Amino acid sequence: MHRKRNAILKQIGLQIFLLLITASVLFPILWIFSMALDSRNIDKPLELTLIPPGASLAAFKRVLFEPFSQLCKNPQDTSTCMFFGKLLANSLLVALGTSVFAVVLGSSAAYAFSRFKFIGRQAGMLGFIVLLMLPSTATLAPLYVLLSLVKIGGEPLRATLIGLMIAYASGTLPFAIWNLKGYFDTIPKELEEAALIDGCNVTSAFTRVILPLSLPAMAITILFSFMTGWTEFILAWTFLEDPSRFTLAMALRSMQGEYTTPWSDFSAMSILMSIPIILIFYAFQRYIVSGLTLGGVKG
């Protein structure tokens, strides 16, 4: 009886602890929604309340349909300012392009590191680990110089969305290669040998056998690469010059003023920006756990 009572108390304590953890995680999300619904659009966060008076969707309406006065070619002419639709198109293009670069280049490089023996193989893998330790801003200067040397239509590649995709992909490739290489190591080589016997060459065996079996690791690579291209703004602010090529992350950052910030608009923009990431996560959720676990089995 005493032992049963202790087990019940232990379970109650565990449930209370888990509820506290859940509340601590959900509270910031609830606060963001509260700020987005606050019709006052207060620029002082200390005056905000968890249950806003006169809650409305006015902040979402402003973000979706009004121009961003901070992102204009001509500050005196609002018609030259950026709108949410154009920013969304730019962000989707950059994020999807980053994912494509990371998957195509990462999978081919990871396959080479996994299946072939060559000089510098171990040093290359160690180099990827070193790159993973560096923040994205550590490579800002060399990327700026290299992408400025390449010209497209008379302007530097750095100032284009393609250049921004390449810059982001360079930061995501170390993780993509390491993760995919670890997953490829778990796939039996006998499957490729059987494909070669059936008439496939190395490329066909890779595309028809290895890649279909690597969907979990590919999903992880796509998700992380998309998140990088979707949320990063430091490189974008440094590289891009034309406001018509700005992204949603840059627009969100532009809302934060030196002295004041419209917190309702800022929160509404944050919520809208999180929707694509959530959708991609739920689309790939059945692959994510297995992709993260199996991808780290072998080095």
Q: Encoding tokens for residue 288?
A: 């994510």
Helices 285-294 and 161-185 meet at what angle, rounded to 10?
60
CA gap 254, 262 in Å, rounded:
11
State CA 249 to chain mean position distance.
Answer: 11
Q: What is the tens place of the pLDDT at every residue in 211-267?
A: 888 888 898 899 999 999 999 999 999 999 888 899 999 999 988 876 778 888 899
Which of 22-31, 33-42, 88-97 is the least confident region?
33-42
Every domain of the chain and the residues it spans:
2-72, 82-294
Query: Residue written as tokens 């949603």?
Result: 248
Q: Which two tokens stand for residue 117?
A: 């023996």
CB-based contacts of 36: which residues, under 8 Å, 6+ apart?
A: 59, 60, 264, 267, 268, 270, 271
- Contact predicate 215/290, CB 8 Å: no
Separation between Cα atoms, residue 81 and residue 291, nearest integer Å: 42
In sequence order, what are the beta bridge partners of 72? Answer: 81
**What is the structure's pLDDT at 192?**
84
Handedness of CA 226, 228, 234, 238 (dihedral sign): negative
Question: Is it true that domain 82-294 has CATH number 3.40.190.10?
Answer: no
Query: CA triplet 207, 208, 211: central angle to 5 degrees?
Result: 55
Q: Output the average pLDDT for the chain.
A: 85
